[in-house]
């Protein structure tokens, strides 16, 4: 209704393809659709000058110094109470980190903690974050979508077709029905072979195992190319669930976002990521630097 009223229904299909997996767009409350309508999607995303986004993280690791960066490691315990697991410390935050490569454990003591993972109760539990009752109540409102990125080999697809776009025939504005593929992108390799990048989404955040996603993708690819689903080979598959965290209109009306942003600095903890900015890495970087970093610096100086 909002799109029709403001006369931009003609670009909804393009927007849905660029933004990818904001649910069934025609069913979304306006504020969720507009929230995902970031200028970066129209202007083009910010990327590393080299073309390799990993360079951003490598540069950050260099600034922090390698001995202070724990890769391939999990936080097994987090204590923000100042008790430091029964050994009180001047530093109010203690994190026990386990190296998956060596099995060594490291105790990190800090004045402030920055958390950048999706703040769902399941994700925070896996990271051993010691949520209090208020944090648990706020984060319990979050819902999410399923999103998977894949690289496939499909001999029934035409390598000269640059991109396959899922267009709905019986949906408003010809948007794709979910669960389903959004796009399939042809990529010519240096050795002359062609592989295809594909993106799959579903409205439900749970229940989509790797096997189920592969079956759904293979079935759709077979229909596109009039081939056999068993011919589709999955070279790489990565899950990005929980994707695009969102809450109900009732939660918004009850002050959810006021309560969410009020968590910044509480319990010596700051938060960043797509749930706080938008599902766009360049926007997350800008928001973290321009809005969040001054708050952290002020808290450290106090």
Alpha helical stretches, state H, the chain? 2-5, 12-19, 30-35, 39-43, 54-64, 121-126, 133-139, 210-225, 249-253, 256-261, 281-287, 293-301
Report the C-alpha gap between 32 and 29 in whole angstroms. Answer: 6
Residues 107-160: tens digit of each pLDDT? 999 999 999 999 999 999 999 999 999 999 999 999 999 999 999 998 888 888
Cα angle, residue 46 at apex, residues 42 and 51 outer, rounded to 5°: 125
Taking a C-beta distance cutoff of 8 angstroms, is the pair 8, 174 a contact? no
Report the C-alpha gap between 217 and 234 in whole angstroms. Answer: 10
Instruction: For residue 219, give both structure tokens.
Output: 């079935």
Report the C-alpha gap between 177 and 168 in whole angstroms. Answer: 6
Given this model, what pLDDT does residue 38 score? 64
Taking a C-beta distance cutoff of 8 angstroms, is the pair 217, 232 a contact? yes
Given this model, what pLDDT does residue 156 score? 85
Residues 225-260: tens digit of each pLDDT? 767 878 899 999 999 999 999 999 999 999 999 999
Tokens 């695009």 correspond to 244
Segments in the chain below pLDDT 50: none
Alpha carbon separation from 292 to 15, 36, 285 (Å, rounded): 28, 20, 10
Least Cα distance to 225 among 174, 192, 184, 167 occurs for 184
Peptide bond connecting 242 to the previous residue in cis, omega within 30 degrees of 0: yes
Report the C-alpha gap between 36 and 211 in whole angstroms. Answer: 30
Exposure letters 15-32 (e unless 16+ CB within 10 A, then b): bbbbbbbbbbbbebeeeb
């Amino acid at each position: 209704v909002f799109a029709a009223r403001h006369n931009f229904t003609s670009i909804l299909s393009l927007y849905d393809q660029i933004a990818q997996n904001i649910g069934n767009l025609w069913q979304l409350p306006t504020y969720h659709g507009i929230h995902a309508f970031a200028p970066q999607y129209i202007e083009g995303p910010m990327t590393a000058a080299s073309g390799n986004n990993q360079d951003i993280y490598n540069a950050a690791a260099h600034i922090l110094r390698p001995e202070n960066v724990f890769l391939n490691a999990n936080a097994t315990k987090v204590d923000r109470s100042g008790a430091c697991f029964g050994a009180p410390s001047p530093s109010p935050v203690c994190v026990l980190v386990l190296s998956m490569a060596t099995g060594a454990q490291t105790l990190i003591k800090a004045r402030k903690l920055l958390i950048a993972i999706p703040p769902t109760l399941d994700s925070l539990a896996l990271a051993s974050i010691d949520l209090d009752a208020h944090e648990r109540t706020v984060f319990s409102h979050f819902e999410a979508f399923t999103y998977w990125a894949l690289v496939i080999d499909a001999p029934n697809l035409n390598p000269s077709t640059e991109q396959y776009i899922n267009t709905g025939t019986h949906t408003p504005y010809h948007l794709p029905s979910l669960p389903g593929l959004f796009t399939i992108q042809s990529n010519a390799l240096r050795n002359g072979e062609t592989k295809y990048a594909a993106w799959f989404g579903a409205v439900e955040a749970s229940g989509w195992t790797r096997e189920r996603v592969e079956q759904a993708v293979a079935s759709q690819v077979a229909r596109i190319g009039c081939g056999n689903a068993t011919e589709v080979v999955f070279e790489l598959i990565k899950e990005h669930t929980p994707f695009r965290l969102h809450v109900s209109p009732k939660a918004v009306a009850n002050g959810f976002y006021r309560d969410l942003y009020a968590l910044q600095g509480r319990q010596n903890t700051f938060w960043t990521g797509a749930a706080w900015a938008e599902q766009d890495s360049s926007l997350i970087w800008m928001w973290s630097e321009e809005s969040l970093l001054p708050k952290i610096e002020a808290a450290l100086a106090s």
